[in-house]
Amino acid sequence: MRIATWNVNSITARLPRLLAWLESSGTDVLCLQEAKVAEEQFPFDQLRELGYESAVHATGRWNGVAVLSRVGVEDVVKGLPGDPGYDGVSEPRAISATCGPLRVWSVYVPNGREVGHPHYAYKIQWFEALKAAVAGDAGGSRPFAVMGDYNVAPTDDDVYDTAAFEGLTHVTPAERAALAALRETGLHDVVPRPLKYDHPYTYWDYRQLCFPKNRGMRIDLVYGNAPFTQAVKDSYVDREERKGKGASDHAPVVVDLDV
């Protein structure tokens, strides 16, 4: 079974590439982030033609998450219990579903903007809500994973240059501590094999030739519980999908399971 996570940075802009990738990659379940559409604008029909059911939590041109599956979608939960919200609004940043033998969450963690900004405090609070929401499944016997754009690089090795991020979000002790606390529920980081690259980055900014220069970050993560991790046969970043015209600034992270 092949599952993946991908921040597509607008499903409308990326739809042709998404459909082509689903056909060529043989992915059974895809956790998708930054749909950037209202739910009624989501391309359910095009995906259904390829055999995928879609569970979607999206409200407009910002945020938006989904789970696409060709092995069934059941027991869908939209949002987090205890979601702290931002400026009084609960944003569409999390959705969970049962897909065949798996339970998965697709998450788009708040960016945080800058240290000291209210959005940074919201990010830490959101992690607490996520931790509470997944704790039961994380310790369960069913394969379970929380996949998505975490907007945190777990270690210094997950950014191309630590000096370039000094004083910025995504690498602060508080963010990494929140990520570590999430893992303590019983989750493990499924790190993609680096292939020919020193580090399996998943995100490269559009600016300053970051992708050709491999100035990236590993912020798209797959965190699985023990039954999930034990079933992992392979994992990789599909770096080729970051290339070319009309690419997202994130690459898919793919995991093959024996379940």
Whether 250 is catalytic = yes
- With beta carbons less than 8 A apart as the criterion, state whether 112 and 123 touch: yes
Give me the percent of the chain exceeding a pLDDT of 90: 95
pLDDT at 195: 60
State residue 194's pLDDT score: 62
pLDDT over threshold 70, residue 197: no
Q: Which residue out of 149, 158, 220, 238 is catalytically annotated?
A: 149
Q: Is 61 helix (H, G, I), strand (E, B) or coil?
A: coil
* 94 pLDDT more than 70: yes
* 223-244 pLDDT per residue, tens: 999 999 999 999 999 999 999 9
Is-contact 91 63, C-beta < 8 A? Answer: yes
Q: Does 7 carry a binding-site annotation?
A: yes
Per-residue pLDDT tens for 26-76?
999 999 999 999 999 999 999 999 999 999 999 988 899 999 999 999 999
Average pLDDT over residues 82-95: 96
- Own/partner long-range contacts of 138-143 (Cβ < 8 Å, ≥24 apart): 138/185, 138/186, 138/187, 138/225, 139/185, 139/186, 139/225, 140/225, 140/227, 141/227, 142/101, 142/102, 142/103, 142/227, 143/101, 143/102, 143/103, 143/224, 143/225, 143/227, 143/228, 143/231, 143/257, 143/259
Residue 186 pLDDT > 70 = yes
For the segment 181-199, the average pLDDT, to the nearest whole number, is: 85
pLDDT digits (tens, 9 = 90+) for 112-148: 999 999 999 999 999 999 999 999 999 999 999 999 9
Is residue 220's pLDDT more than 80?
A: yes
Out of 52, 108, 122, 201, the active site residue is 108
Mean pLDDT of 95-114: 98
Cα of 119 vs its chain's centroid, Å: 19
The response to whether 34 counts as a known ligand-binding position is: yes
Alpha carbon of 110 to those of 57, 82, 149, 162, 245: distances in Å? 15, 15, 9, 21, 27
Mean pLDDT value across residues 166-193: 96
Active-site position among 57, 170, 199, 250? 250
Q: Note if 108 is an active site residue.
A: yes
pTM: 0.97
Task: Consult the annotation and say whether 151 binds a ligand.
Answer: yes
CATH 3.60.10.10 fits 2-257, yes or no: yes
The pLDDT, as a whole number, for residue 199 is 76
Please name the residue ranges forming H helices in the chain. Answer: 11-25, 44-49, 118-138, 173-183, 226-231
